[in-house]
A and B are shown apart, each in its own frame.
Chain A
Amino acid sequence: MSGVLASMIDGLLVGAVYGLAAMGLSLIWGVMDVINLTHGAMIALGMFCMYLLFAATGINAYLLLLPTIGVGLLLGLAVYWMAVHWVVGRSMLMSLLSTFAVNMMVIGIGTAVWSTSPYNVNFVLPGITIGAYTFTGNHMAAAISAVVIALALQLFLYHTRTGKAIRAVADNREAAELMGISSTAVLSIAFAIGIALACTSGALVSTLFPFTILSGGVYQLKSFVVTILAGLGKPFGALVAGVLLGLLEGVVTPFIAVSWIPLIEFGLFVVVLVAFPQGIFGKRVTA
């Protein structure tokens, strides 16, 4: 029984990282109605960013999150102006396909540079041992970092002018423009933040598990599940839903093979979409 408990705590910690990744997806989706299919690729780039920074400096990997956030913001701006700006407001198909095209390019370049063999960040924090179980320091540090970043985002969105502008544009873009908000600037900032969150969560994952350039896809699926679970445009809800998903994985992993997990997650995804289209934290809105 205590084995399950340990596995649950582990899942809880990893879940915070899932939540952080999903916040990026949810923010972009909520603000500009674009489903960002570069999400997985950006998570993977975050992993490799961390790998390269750590290989170059060798300092505490969790300090390297700050430069990773910077890289993510720049990447986000680049992707926004390359592929997203021109399709915002056009049909969903177009934004799906254009972000997806960027995804292919990133994966293609990544495969050419790093091949698809696994890498890992060789950084270990001391853990805590309770009885027969050890909780690794990395898991705890990653979860704490994720929560701190999530709180920072929450503060930014609710207590700064730019953050409020982002929420205003998400609510009603035209009205926001009439109030003198430059929606283009706001959209590009929101997109950059979304990508930065994806990169950061990738960087956190890279300190926990080995990864390849294709690993992002797995976390992209998890992010979709979490976003749907939380309901759109609720970044903080995404963190909670992420923790829930992690918890669920923690509960089931002692009993079934890990390779079944995509099946369970997908089942959850469809059930939630069909039964709670507004997310489990969302209000029922009459159309």
Chain B
Amino acid sequence: MILRRPFFWIILLVTVGFIYAPLHGNNVSLREDLILIAIAIILASNLNLMIGYTGYVNFGHIVFYGLGGYVGLYLTTARGWNLVLSALVAGVVVSVCAFLFGLAILRLRGAYFALATIGILQAVQAFVSNFDPWGRSTGMYLSFNSYQSLGGARHALWITYFLIIAVMTLSMIVSLVIKNSKFGLGLFAIREDEDAAVVLGVNATVYKAIIYSVSAFLPAVAGALMFFKNGMIDPSIAFEYMLSLEGIVMLMLGGQGSVIGAALGGALYERLRSYLLTSPILSNFHLVIAGGLLLMVVLFAPGGLIGWVYRLVPRARKVIE
């Protein structure tokens, strides 16, 4: 059972920390820092389901986040729905889209799949940039009234923050549950040797489509919440290719295939990026440093940070998963 896993309680503890820290003394700037970390953790954790668990590289993971943002903002603004409902609907809609994409492109294996994901990102971006109801390339703005139903802007921002933290916690718990399930074992088998897995009775096609769709759900919800908080969306922000790529760096840095690895990598990388972006000398070079980091990890430590810890303290595998 999931409750008996020590790591489950660690996740809850982290969540409490995320909630308590900014509330204590109404620290808004801390809240804004934490929100970026939470988004990074959500993206990295869900990407981990594809890359770390199933062994399929998704270069266009951000497409789910952006589409979720679009559907969410469209529902809250143009349709006047409430935030939680629109975010959930955004998640469901994007998951269904992902399932359909998945059926088409998951017939491809390995590198071909990876290339197709780049294509998906560009194709969806091209579609949204031409789609009239979503404001084409100028995007959409949130009407200020949407904040009223949540008790004014100040209140609304806090509520969105808590919702995003909830999504973050859920991301880690979903990763943990899948890792310890029979479904997860099937995914690992696909990662190690897809043909052998099929022979042993894993329905690879269905498994892959399901995990692709699951990895879309929470990022889409997070996108809906985040773009609600930002109050605007346009294709270049929503489908930021660089962020998609940085998600991979986070995952490799922390350690692919591990729940804590993905989360840790997300948090550390986000802090590093914030530091680099605000530093006057290094701000232009954050991609260079990210690329350098990724290259180092790939060449010298393919297990990432957590792989290194596991090698040092083999027993750690039992506690931090």
Contact = CB atoms under 8 A, between A and B. Distances in A.
Interface of A: 35, 82-83, 86-87, 92-94, 96-98, 100-109, 111-112, 217, 221, 224, 228, 257, 259-263, 265-267, 269-270, 273-274
Given A93-B55, A259-B130, A109 B116 contact: no
B183 interface: no
Q: Ordered nearest first, which 3 A-B pairs have the shortest CB separation?
A: A108-B287, A104-B291, A105-B291
Nearest to B56: A93
Contacts of B127: 263
A273 B113 CA distance: 10
Contacts of A106: 291
Interface residues of B, number: 45
B291 A97 contact: no
Contact of A98 (B112, B245, B287, B298): B298
Contacts of B285: 108-109, 112
A270 B105 CA distance: 7
A26 to B, nearest CB: 13
Among B114, B126, B241, B290, chain A packs the most CB atoms within 10 A around the CB of B126
A262 B41 CA distance: 30
22 contacts: A35-B111, A35-B114, A82-B295, A92-B110, A92-B114, A93-B51, A96-B57, A96-B111, A101-B292, A101-B293, A102-B295, A104-B245, A104-B291, A109-B288, A111-B284, A224-B115, A263-B127, A266-B119, A269-B115, A269-B116, A270-B116, A274-B108
Given A86-B299, A94-B302, A259-B130, A100 B111 contact: no
Contact of B125 (A86, A102, A262, A265): A262
Contacts, number: 114
Among B107, B119, B286, chain A packs the most CB atoms within 10 A around the CB of B119
Contacts of A265: 119
Given A94-B302, A97-B294, A263-B126, 19 more contacts: A35-B111, A94-B298, A98-B298, A101-B294, A101-B295, A102-B291, A102-B295, A104-B291, A105-B295, A108-B288, A108-B289, A109-B288, A221-B119, A224-B115, A260-B130, A263-B123, A263-B127, A267-B123, A269-B119
Classify the interface of chain A: helix, strand, loop or mixed. Answer: helix
A273 B108 contact: yes
Nearest to A261: B126
Among A86, A228, A273, chain B packs the most CB atoms within 10 A around the CB of A273
Contacts of A93: 51, 55, 57
A287 to B, nearest CB: 10
A54 B115 CA distance: 34
Contacts of B130: 257, 259-260
Nearest to B302: A94
